[in-house]
Structure formats: structure tokens, C-alpha cells
Amino acid sequence: MADFYFSNTVRPRRSLLSVPAINLRALAKLKALDCDGVIFDLEDSVAPDVKDEARGNLLTFFKETPLAGRETIIRINPTSTNVGQRDLKAALECAPSAILLPKVEQPSHIQDVAELLAEADAPETVKIWAMIETPKGVLNAAAIAESSHTQAARLGAFVVGLNDLRKETRVPAEARRTYLVPWLMQIVLAARAYGLDVIDSVSNDFRDLDAFAAECEQGRAMGFDGKMLIHPAQIDAANRAFAPADEALEEAREIIAAFAKPESVGLNVINSNGRMIERLHVSQAERLVAMAEIIDQRKAEKE
């Protein structure tokens, strides 16, 4: 299973800000915002009678406003609908980093779109991301990840959607997400089994930043790579929570240095100040350091 996604370059996906493609004022703000990526929404946040206008906004935006160094993701309607087909056509003209499919419930939802992308000769750089946001999506997350993370099927990441999942399961919203955690962890596990990134759900209450920071911390502890956001005020907390922590970074550098010593050659476990570290920790440590370097470099470029 030496798949290309496992060797994918490290990419910060701490903060992915969703913007309704109909909202020109919000679109105009994006260039100045410090999120790792933008999710341009053509689905639920755009009313049916203004979908054409929203697609037009995206075509103009992508032509005129390069978001250097940041990922651009376009969320479309299901391609089983005419609206979704038109969204896909417009999205392909924009050539984003990824096309995000809503309510993915089975591998064919990914594969059908992958075929359309292949027919349209879409560059391989255009990935497919999947919203996991329905009971069937959660139950089938492993099967979706397994059959769709190949180069041909282009699947690069899962994004969790709790608003839909709560609605369909009738699990009420509650700060600690207690009864949702098992499902969230199932999605994380499915993603990791096949080398996919996995992004935590939006949090609706954008004025309560303390609660938001706590939810980011919980998402990080569950293993998520970042969070989908709905408001610029949420960017800083997500960037902080999902960046490598200073102590973790320090430890990672120690691990790399310890295994680089001549006396460690041929050893798979070593004693580092009374703690066992294993050679398998080295790649994890290298990933963390690489992530921190990319984040620092971006910060330096902005200053």
C-alpha cells in the first residue's frame, strides 16, 4: 500500500475558511486573511436562485485574485443533480486545489466524479475531498477511504460536517460533543488507515471564541489536521491549536538529533533522558518539524 498519498508533501490545513460564493464582501476579504485554505461554497450557503451568480463570482475571483500559498477548495452540489453538474463545470474552470463533495456516502460518489475529472482532462493537481456528514457516510468511511484514495480516484481528505450529522441522527449540539466523539474518531481512523488528511467540522457560534478554542483543542487531541471555519474571527484559534506545539517541536528535534548520532546507528530503540524513543518516532518527528518550518516560512513571507 505504498500509495502516493502516503508520500504526499506536508501541508498545513489548520484553518479552512468557508465562504459562501455569493458573498462578494466576504470574498474581497480573503486575500488579507491568514487561513491555510479557503472553501468556496456553492452548496448549502448559496440559495437556489443565485447559484449562477455564485459560480460567476468564483470564475472572476479565481481569475483576478491569486491566493498565493493557500489551498483553494470549491464545495459543489452533488453531481447527480443538474446544479451539481454546472458547479463542477465552473469549478474545473477555476482549477482549484480540490473539489469538495457534500454528503459522500459510498465509494461510487467519489469514483463517479473522478471519472468526470478524467474525461475533462483535469490536471492531477485537482484533488477530490469528501464531506462525511451523514450516518451512511460515517458507517462507510473506511470503505470510501479504501477504494478512493488512489491516484486515479484523487481522494485527498475528509471534512466532517456535524450540522448535517446532528440533524440526521438527532444528537443535540452540546459543548463537549460527548456522543459524537465515537463517530468522529471512526472518521479519523478511516482517514488515517488510507493516508488521508481529516478536517474537523465547523462550529456555529462564532462569537464565543473561548468555546471555539476549546473545541479546536479537542479536535487536535482527537487527531484532526485542522478545522473548517465559518468566520474570520475563528482563524487565529485554529492556527494556534493545530500548529505543532513548542514542546512537541522541541521533543521532535531531540528525537531526530538522537537517532542521527553515530552511536545510534543500528539501534531501533534508545534511552533519551529516561524515556524510550523508537526509530519509528523519527518520521513523525520529521513531519512535525517540516510542518513548523512551512508555517514559519509563511509567516515570514507575510511580514
Q: Judged by CB under 5 A, which of 161, 219, 232, 244 binds Mg ion? A: 161
Question: In DSSP terms, which residues pair with 278 in a beta bridge?
Answer: 269
Residue 231 touches which of Mg ion, ligand COA, none (Cβ within 5-8 Å per kind): ligand COA
**Residue 39 Cβ, how far from Mg ion at the closest point, in Å?**
11
Alpha helices in the chain (DSSP H): 24-29, 51-64, 82-94, 107-119, 135-139, 141-148, 162-169, 181-193, 209-222, 235-242, 246-260, 280-302
**Residue 234 Cβ, how far from ligand COA at the closest point, in Å?**
9
Our CB check for Mg ion shows the closer of 132 and 255 to be 132
Our CB check for ligand COA shows the closer of 26 and 248 to be 26
Binding site for ligand COA (CB under 6 A): 17-20, 23, 25-26, 29, 41, 44-45, 202, 230-232
**Residue 113 Cβ, how far from Mg ion at the closest point, in Å?**
17
Is the distance from CB of 75 to CB of 202 less than 8 angstroms? Answer: no
- Site map (CB under 5 A) of Mg ion, residues 106-145, x = contact: ---------------------------x------------
Neighbours of 212 (CB within 10 A): 23
Say which residue the cell 436562485 belongs to: 49
Is the distance from CB of 100 to CB of 129 less than 8 angstroms? Answer: yes
Our CB check for ligand COA shows the closer of 42 and 258 to be 42
Is the distance from CB of 134 to CB of 105 less than 8 angstroms? Answer: yes
Residue 45 touches which of ligand COA, Mg ion, none (Cβ within 5-8 Å per kind): ligand COA
**Residue 4 Cβ, how far from ligand COA at the closest point, in Å?**
29
Residue 200 binds Mg ion (CB under 5 A)? no
* Nearest C-alpha neighbor of 70 from the set 96, 104, 106: 96
Our CB check for ligand COA shows the closer of 27 and 288 to be 27
- Tell me, by CB under 5 A, how many residues bind Mg ion: 3
**Residue 50 Cβ, how far from ligand COA at the closest point, in Å?**
13
Question: In DSSP terms, which residues pair with 72 in a beta bridge?
Answer: 38
Rounded CA-CA distance 108/260 in Å is 45
Residue 244 touches which of ligand COA, Mg ion, none (Cβ within 5-8 Å per kind): none
Residue 105 binds Mg ion (CB under 5 A)? no
Q: Judged by CB under 5 A, which of 105, 164, 200, 251 binds Mg ion? A: 164
The C-alpha cell that represents 140 in the structure block? 462507510
| Helix, strand, or coil (residue 269) | strand
Rounded CA-CA distance 201/226 in Å is 9
Q: How far is CA 231 from CA 38, 40, 76, 79, 205, in A?
A: 11, 13, 20, 27, 9
Our CB check for ligand COA shows the closer of 104 and 277 to be 104
Residue 29 touches which of ligand COA, Mg ion, none (Cβ within 5-8 Å per kind): ligand COA
**Residue 46 Cβ, how far from Mg ion at the closest point, in Å?**
12
- How many angstroms from the chain centroid is the CA of residue 62? 20
Neighbours of 95 (CB within 10 A): 13
Residue 18 touches which of Mg ion, ligand COA, none (Cβ within 5-8 Å per kind): ligand COA
Note the residues at the interface with Mg ion (CB under 5 A). Answer: 133, 161, 164
